[in-house]
Protein backbone atom coordinates (compact mmCIF):
# COMPACT_ATOMS: atom_id res chain seq x y z
CA UNK A 1 0.00 0.00 0.00
CA UNK A 2 1.34 3.44 -0.95
CA UNK A 3 2.19 5.77 1.95
CA UNK A 4 1.39 9.50 1.64
CA UNK A 5 4.29 11.75 2.56
CA UNK A 6 5.93 15.11 1.86
CA UNK A 7 8.91 15.98 -0.30
CA UNK A 8 10.48 19.26 -1.42
CA UNK A 9 12.15 19.86 -4.78
CA UNK A 10 13.98 22.59 -6.63
CA UNK A 11 13.96 23.05 -10.40
CA UNK A 12 15.43 19.54 -10.71
CA UNK A 13 16.01 16.53 -8.48
CA UNK A 14 19.24 16.44 -6.48
CA UNK A 15 20.93 14.28 -9.12
CA UNK A 16 20.01 16.72 -11.87
CA UNK A 17 17.13 14.75 -13.36
CA UNK A 18 13.88 16.49 -14.19
CA UNK A 19 11.14 16.32 -11.58
CA UNK A 20 8.51 13.90 -12.94
CA UNK A 21 5.08 15.33 -13.75
CA UNK A 22 2.26 14.79 -11.29
CA UNK A 23 1.00 11.22 -11.29
CA UNK A 24 4.10 9.72 -12.89
CA UNK A 25 6.02 7.39 -10.57
CA UNK A 26 9.76 7.79 -10.23
CA UNK A 27 11.34 4.36 -9.68
CA UNK A 28 14.75 3.68 -8.17
CA UNK A 29 16.37 0.68 -9.85
CA UNK A 30 19.39 0.14 -7.61
CA UNK A 31 19.95 -0.73 -3.98
CA UNK A 32 17.86 1.14 -1.43
CA UNK A 33 19.23 2.22 1.97
CA UNK A 34 17.98 5.09 4.07
CA UNK A 35 20.25 8.16 3.95
CA UNK A 36 22.32 6.41 1.27
CA UNK A 37 20.27 5.57 -1.81
CA UNK A 38 16.69 5.34 -2.96
CA UNK A 39 13.82 7.83 -2.94
CA UNK A 40 13.22 9.72 0.31
CA UNK A 41 10.26 11.57 1.80
CA UNK A 42 8.85 12.42 5.24
CA UNK A 43 5.46 11.66 6.79
CA UNK A 44 5.53 15.10 8.48
CA UNK A 45 5.93 18.17 6.31
CA UNK A 46 8.15 19.97 8.82
CA UNK A 47 10.56 17.03 8.81
CA UNK A 48 10.64 17.14 5.01
CA UNK A 49 11.51 20.84 5.25
CA UNK A 50 14.79 19.89 6.99
CA UNK A 51 15.96 18.24 3.76
CA UNK A 52 14.43 20.70 1.29
CA UNK A 53 16.68 21.69 -1.65
CA UNK A 54 14.03 24.13 -2.93
CA UNK A 55 10.73 25.77 -2.06
CA UNK A 56 8.39 23.55 -4.11
CA UNK A 57 6.23 21.49 -1.79
CA UNK A 58 5.15 18.09 -3.11
CA UNK A 59 2.53 15.75 -1.71
CA UNK A 60 3.80 12.32 -2.72
CA UNK A 61 2.80 8.68 -2.59
CA UNK A 62 5.61 6.31 -1.64
CA UNK A 63 5.45 2.65 -2.66
CA UNK A 64 7.71 -0.27 -1.74
CA UNK A 65 9.00 1.43 1.41
CA UNK A 66 12.26 -0.21 2.48
CA UNK A 67 13.21 1.70 5.63
CA UNK A 68 11.92 4.40 7.95
CA UNK A 69 13.35 6.61 10.68
CA UNK A 70 11.63 9.13 12.94
CA UNK A 71 11.72 11.94 10.37
CA UNK A 72 11.96 10.23 6.98
CA UNK A 73 11.45 7.09 4.93
CA UNK A 74 13.05 5.60 1.86
CA UNK A 75 11.26 3.77 -0.93
CA UNK A 76 11.71 2.42 -4.46
CA UNK A 77 8.81 4.30 -6.04
CA UNK A 78 7.59 7.85 -5.41
CA UNK A 79 4.91 9.76 -7.31
CA UNK A 80 3.89 13.39 -6.91
CA UNK A 81 0.16 13.80 -6.33
CA UNK A 82 0.32 17.59 -6.46
CA UNK A 83 2.80 20.38 -5.91
CA UNK A 84 2.77 23.98 -4.72
CA UNK A 85 5.25 26.85 -4.90
CA UNK A 86 5.93 27.35 -1.20
CA UNK A 87 7.71 30.72 -1.38
CA UNK A 88 4.98 32.80 0.25
CA UNK A 89 3.35 30.16 2.44
CA UNK A 90 6.70 29.28 4.04
CA UNK A 91 7.39 32.93 4.85
CA UNK A 92 3.92 33.34 6.28
CA UNK A 93 4.44 30.18 8.31
CA UNK A 94 7.67 31.61 9.74
CA UNK A 95 5.81 34.72 10.87
CA UNK A 96 3.04 32.66 12.44
CA UNK A 97 5.34 30.48 14.54
CA UNK A 98 7.28 33.56 15.64
CA UNK A 99 4.00 35.11 16.79
CA UNK A 100 3.17 31.90 18.61
CA UNK A 101 6.04 32.50 21.03
CA UNK A 102 5.42 36.24 21.36
CA UNK A 103 4.27 35.83 25.01
CA UNK A 104 7.76 34.59 25.93
CA UNK A 105 9.45 37.95 25.35
CA UNK A 106 8.87 41.67 25.24
CA UNK A 107 8.37 41.91 21.49
CA UNK A 108 9.18 45.34 20.01
CA UNK A 109 6.33 47.06 18.19
CA UNK A 110 8.12 47.03 14.83
CA UNK A 111 8.63 43.28 15.11
CA UNK A 112 4.98 42.61 15.91
CA UNK A 113 3.82 44.85 13.07
CA UNK A 114 5.96 42.97 10.57
CA UNK A 115 4.96 39.53 11.83
CA UNK A 116 1.27 40.40 11.77
CA UNK A 117 1.23 42.08 8.35
CA UNK A 118 4.18 40.71 6.39
CA UNK A 119 4.73 44.28 5.15
CA UNK A 120 8.19 44.12 3.58
CA UNK A 121 8.89 47.79 4.30
CA UNK A 122 8.96 46.84 8.00
CA UNK A 123 11.24 43.84 7.60
CA UNK A 124 14.67 45.45 8.06
CA UNK A 125 13.62 47.36 11.18
CA UNK A 126 11.93 44.27 12.57
CA UNK A 127 14.98 42.11 12.03
CA UNK A 128 17.27 44.65 13.71
CA UNK A 129 14.95 45.14 16.69
CA UNK A 130 14.52 41.39 17.12
CA UNK A 131 18.28 40.89 17.06
CA UNK A 132 18.91 43.56 19.70
CA UNK A 133 16.11 42.32 21.96
CA UNK A 134 17.33 38.74 21.64
CA UNK A 135 20.88 39.73 22.58
CA UNK A 136 19.63 41.71 25.57
CA UNK A 137 17.53 38.76 26.77
CA UNK A 138 20.49 36.42 26.46
CA UNK A 139 22.72 38.85 28.39
CA UNK A 140 20.32 38.85 31.31
CA UNK A 141 19.99 35.07 31.24
CA UNK A 142 16.47 34.81 29.83
CA UNK A 143 17.15 32.02 27.36
CA UNK A 144 13.52 31.41 26.34
CA UNK A 145 13.06 35.10 25.48
CA UNK A 146 16.34 35.15 23.56
CA UNK A 147 15.37 32.16 21.44
CA UNK A 148 11.86 33.52 20.86
CA UNK A 149 13.52 36.67 19.56
CA UNK A 150 15.60 34.54 17.21
CA UNK A 151 12.40 33.03 15.81
CA UNK A 152 11.24 36.53 14.89
CA UNK A 153 14.65 37.43 13.47
CA UNK A 154 14.55 34.32 11.29
CA UNK A 155 11.06 35.20 10.06
CA UNK A 156 12.32 38.64 8.99
CA UNK A 157 15.35 37.28 7.09
CA UNK A 158 14.17 37.93 3.54
CA UNK A 159 17.63 37.44 2.07
CA UNK A 160 17.50 33.74 2.96
CA UNK A 161 15.45 31.17 0.98
CA UNK A 162 11.88 30.71 2.19
CA UNK A 163 12.61 27.11 3.16
CA UNK A 164 15.46 28.22 5.43
CA UNK A 165 13.35 31.00 6.95
CA UNK A 166 10.48 28.65 7.76
CA UNK A 167 12.71 25.96 9.19
CA UNK A 168 14.79 28.34 11.33
CA UNK A 169 11.72 30.05 12.78
CA UNK A 170 10.06 26.71 13.59
CA UNK A 171 13.23 25.34 15.17
CA UNK A 172 13.72 28.44 17.34
CA UNK A 173 10.07 28.56 18.39
CA UNK A 174 10.17 24.88 19.33
CA UNK A 175 13.31 25.41 21.42
CA UNK A 176 11.80 28.49 23.07
CA UNK A 177 8.68 26.65 24.19
CA UNK A 178 10.70 23.67 25.50
CA UNK A 179 7.61 21.65 24.62
CA UNK A 180 8.11 18.27 22.93
CA UNK A 181 4.77 18.65 21.18
CA UNK A 182 5.55 21.98 19.53
CA UNK A 183 7.29 20.47 16.50
CA UNK A 184 4.28 18.27 15.80
CA UNK A 185 1.94 21.23 16.30
CA UNK A 186 3.92 23.45 13.96
CA UNK A 187 4.04 20.68 11.37
CA UNK A 188 0.24 20.42 11.52
CA UNK A 189 0.02 24.21 11.16
CA UNK A 190 2.20 24.18 8.06
CA UNK A 191 0.15 21.36 6.53
CA UNK A 192 -3.05 23.32 7.07
CA UNK A 193 -1.50 26.46 5.56
CA UNK A 194 -0.30 24.53 2.52
CA UNK A 195 -3.75 23.02 2.03
CA UNK A 196 -5.34 26.48 2.31
CA UNK A 197 -2.86 27.94 -0.19
CA UNK A 198 -3.53 25.08 -2.57
CA UNK A 199 -7.27 25.67 -2.28
CA UNK A 200 -6.79 29.38 -2.88
CA UNK A 201 -4.63 28.63 -5.91
CA UNK A 202 -7.46 26.53 -7.32
CA UNK A 203 -10.05 29.21 -6.58
CA UNK A 204 -7.95 31.82 -8.37
CA UNK A 205 -7.97 29.89 -11.65
CA UNK A 206 -10.31 31.40 -14.23
CA UNK A 207 -13.27 29.14 -14.93
CA UNK A 208 -14.42 29.53 -18.53
CA UNK A 209 -16.80 26.57 -18.45
CA UNK A 210 -20.10 27.52 -20.01
CA UNK A 211 -18.74 30.76 -21.48
CA UNK A 212 -19.32 29.72 -25.08
CA UNK A 213 -22.90 28.69 -24.33
CA UNK A 214 -23.63 31.93 -22.46
CA UNK A 215 -22.17 34.03 -25.29
CA UNK A 216 -24.24 32.15 -27.88
CA UNK A 217 -27.42 32.81 -25.91
CA UNK A 218 -26.55 36.49 -25.53
CA UNK A 219 -26.08 36.83 -29.30
CA UNK A 220 -29.17 34.83 -30.23
User: What is the C-alpha end-to-end distance of the chain, expressed in Å?
Assistant: 55
Residue 15 is predicted with a pLDDT of 84
Residue 120, helix vs strand vs coil? helix
pTM, full prediction: 0.90
Residue 212 is predicted with a pLDDT of 61
Per-residue pLDDT tens digits for 147-202: 999 999 999 998 899 999 999 999 999 999 999 899 999 999 999 999 999 998 87
The segments of the chain whose pLDDT lies below 50 read 220
Backbone angles phi, psi at 90, to 5 degrees: -70, -35
Residue 190 CA to residue 45 CA, distance in Å, equals: 7
- Locate the domains of the chain by residue range: 3-85, 88-200
Amino acid sequence: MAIPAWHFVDDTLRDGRAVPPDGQALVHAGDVAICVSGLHASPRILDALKYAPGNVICRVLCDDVVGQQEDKLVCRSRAVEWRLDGEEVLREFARQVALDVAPLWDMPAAVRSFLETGNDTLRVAARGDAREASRAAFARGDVAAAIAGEAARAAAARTHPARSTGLAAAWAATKATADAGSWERYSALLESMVEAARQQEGDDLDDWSGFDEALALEQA
